[in-house]
Structure 1
Amino acid sequence: MEENEDKKEIYFNRVYDNIKNIGYHTTAIMEEENFTPFAYSTGIFENFKIPELFISGLGPNLSGELIKNYAEKFKFGKVPLNERLDDLSEKFPVYLIKVSNQDLTEYTLTSIKFYENRDYEYLQLVFPDLNGNFPNETNYDYDQKIIGEFET
């Protein structure tokens, strides 16, 4: 039991260091059988005054790159919702959609601990499948869990 507490303390020390030094921390949960990988930011809302970002279905490197690009591009600005964005990644266009904190409770544990009783918001980044189809288009085929309301 104590070893687990030590690991948690080490993890959260790293989270707080990243938030202090970089402005945010990215948590990435890897893919397993019957489990869609996901990643999310913690600290962007507090430090850059824009919503945190949640991404389902991409690996940690690409998710980390997208979160970094999002933070750099939109910090202290206005984030376009439900609009096709062609310049957040060189690989594909994306959409940013609103998602409620309650719907992310089982995913964003680091943010829940970090913000405790303070307000924060999340957006979900939605990307196309390998053929360029988005989740609301016919022939869409990709393991991406859409938590917010996606309309184009």
Structure 2
Amino acid sequence: MTDEQIKQYHKQVDENIVKYGYHSTFVFTGNTPSFCYSTGIYKSFGIPELFISSLPQNLSHELIQNYVHKFKNMDKVPLDIKIDDLTDRFPVYLIEVPIDKLTDYVLSSIRFYEGKNYKYIQLIYLDTNGYFPNNKGYNYDQVILGQFEQ
């Protein structure tokens, strides 16, 4: 990206946060698993930002939107328990992720928060055979950055 493209992208991120309360960024390089993450949720709604690995772009954006809608008025997001109603497609878990594990991923958030406090959680999901990462037979390229125990 050119400097001008980066500047325009940062402007878009900031405008979306003002307009919607957050921005979601999808990254696909072709060499590593894709990922998607939010920026602005922590500041706007007081709940952690969301990181999702290896799901398609539209589904990732839908999950972030559903997450905001479901938890934005709650004091706490439930961690380490199965959530059956974040999407009608499959159950998920939300796990805490230390910020230092995300420095290669969440560049828009790092720029947006500029050293201020913020938190992230990761959405963990089933593989196509219905197994979570800790189940025998799990087979998917989901990058897990936090501690997942089922």
TM-score normalised to structure 1 length? 0.96
Give the superposition deviation at 1:31. Answer: 5.3
Q: Residue 97 of structure 1: SS of its match in structure 2?
A: strand
What are the residue-to-residue correspondences of 1:3-152 with 2, within 5 Å?
4-30=2-28, 32=30, 34-77=31-74, 78-152=76-150
Give the superposition deviation at 1:47. Answer: 0.2
CA distance in 2: counterparts of 1:31 and 1:59, whole angstroms: 13
Gaps of 5+ in 2: none
CA distance in 2: counterparts of 1:30 and 1:91, whole angstroms: 23
Q: Residue 87 of structure 1: SS of its match in structure 2?
A: coil
- Which amino acid counterpart does residue 139 of structure 2 have in structure 1? D
CA distance in 2: counterparts of 1:82 and 1:27, whole angstroms: 24
CA distance in 2: counterparts of 1:74 and 1:11, whole angstroms: 27
**Aligned residues, how many?**
149
TM-score normalised to structure 2 length? 0.97
RMSD across aligned C-alpha pairs, in angstroms? Answer: 1.0
Gaps of 5+ in 1: none
Give the superposition deviation at 1:76. Answer: 3.1
